[in-house]
Amino acid sequence: MRLGGFRLGMSVARPHRKITPRSHAFALAALAMLAAFALAPLPIHAHHSGAMFDMAHQISLTGVVARVEWTNPHAFMYLEVKNEKGVAQEWAVEINSPNFLRHNGWTSSTVGPGDTITVTGAPAKTGARFMHGMLVELSGGVQLRS
């Protein structure tokens, strides 16, 4: 039943609106945006997985820095570490983002090629020479979270 532009029913009376092509297009666009956000990958969760590292069995490596990549989402250091036979092997060490590192006292020149450092962290579960570094000790004894 209608009364002066209002429909009366079991609920509260509300004005009757005509659906126009423009309002229909707006509703579809809003729905499409919501679907896009819901289906978009979540980078926060995507790159912070520690599943590839053996977090329960941390190791410490001492070596000479070959190079540093100060990049997002994670910085990397490559160390020349001597194995038990004295042969140098390259280890890739993933550390946190440059933004996180800056908040913990790092700059892009804190560690550079030729520096001898000790890194403590979680090695790769696969046995590859790759680890997630959590603490870096510089040659002068300064320790920085990574």
83-130 per-position pLDDT tens digit: 999 999 999 999 999 999 999 999 989 999 999 999 999 999 999 999
Q: Are strands 2-3 and 130-137 parallel, antiparallel or unpaired?
A: unpaired
What are the residue ranges of CATH 2.40.50.140 in the chain? 59-145
The secondary structure of residue 3, as a DSSP letter, is E
Where does 59-145 sit in CATH, by number? 2.40.50.140
pLDDT band at 50 (very low <50, low <70, confident <90, very high): confident
Per-residue pLDDT at 43: 46
From residue 13, give the alpha-carbon distance in Å to each of 9, 25, 31, 32.
7, 26, 27, 30
Mean pLDDT lowest among 9-13, 29-33, 79-83: 9-13
Structure confidence at residue 45 as a pLDDT band (50, 70, 90):
very low
pLDDT, average across residues 43-65: 80
Continuous segment of H or E residues that includes residue 33: helix 21-39
Q: Is 127 helix (H, G, I), strand (E, B) or coil?
A: coil
pLDDT at 39: 63
Q: What is the mean pLDDT of the chain?
A: 83
